[in-house]
Amino acid sequence: MKQVYHYTNQTQKLPLILDAGHLLPRADQAGERPLLWFSAHPYWEPTATKSRWLGGYLQQLTFAEYRNQFGCVRFALPADDARLMPWRVACKFAGIPKRHVYAMEEVGREQGGKPKQWSAVPGAIPLAEVQIEVLNGDKWEVAS
């Protein structure tokens, strides 16, 4: 069965998600509808690797730096889940301006992402409905 994944970090985000008992959607701008983002990338969504401030400059972390500093976790959802909306449909649903959509696509591609792999759900997902996986070395393992 094909799956899509919500990728995030283990040290900062996982405890908050476990406490909530749900994956929660969010909106980045006022007036947008919140979404919970997923990727069909089978290993790691490149746009999930965050930046850090270093010497007054914003520096994009490499995947190895991100993995080693924060740990990686993902939440697997069946790719045929009826709640999933393709990237552009999700952006329209959320009310994200087209210029922002195009800018996110451009930045995402520069980071190695593929917008055709992106999708979203417009609501919270209980953890009981996803499989939690933790990256151990270079291998994803189901969390117990």
**pLDDT, tens digit (0-9, with 9 covering 90-100), for 10-55:** 999 999 999 999 999 999 889 999 999 999 999 999 999 988 887 8
Between the two ends of the chain, the Cα-to-Cα distance in Å is 21
The pLDDT, as a whole number, for residue 59 is 83
Nearest CA to 82 among 138, 131, 122, 43?
A: 122
The pLDDT, as a whole number, for residue 74 is 98
Please state the rounded mean pLDDT for residues 79-89: 98
The model's pTM is: 0.93
Distance of CA 130 to the CA centre of its chain: 14
**pLDDT, tens digit (0-9, with 9 covering 90-100), for 47-74:** 999 888 878 888 888 999 999 999 999 9
| Position 92 pLDDT exceeds 90 | yes
The pLDDT, as a whole number, for residue 58 is 84
- DSSP character string of 53-75: EETTEEEEPPHHHHHHHH-EEEE
| Position 116 pLDDT exceeds 80 | yes
The pLDDT, as a whole number, for residue 33 is 96
| Position 1 pLDDT exceeds 90 | no
| Residue that is written with structure tokens 């790719």 in the block | 79
Write the CB contacts of 46 (distance below 8 Å, at least 6 apart in sequence).
63, 108, 111, 112, 113
> d(Cα 12, Cα 17) in Å, to the nearest integer?
10
Q: How many residues does the chain have?
A: 144
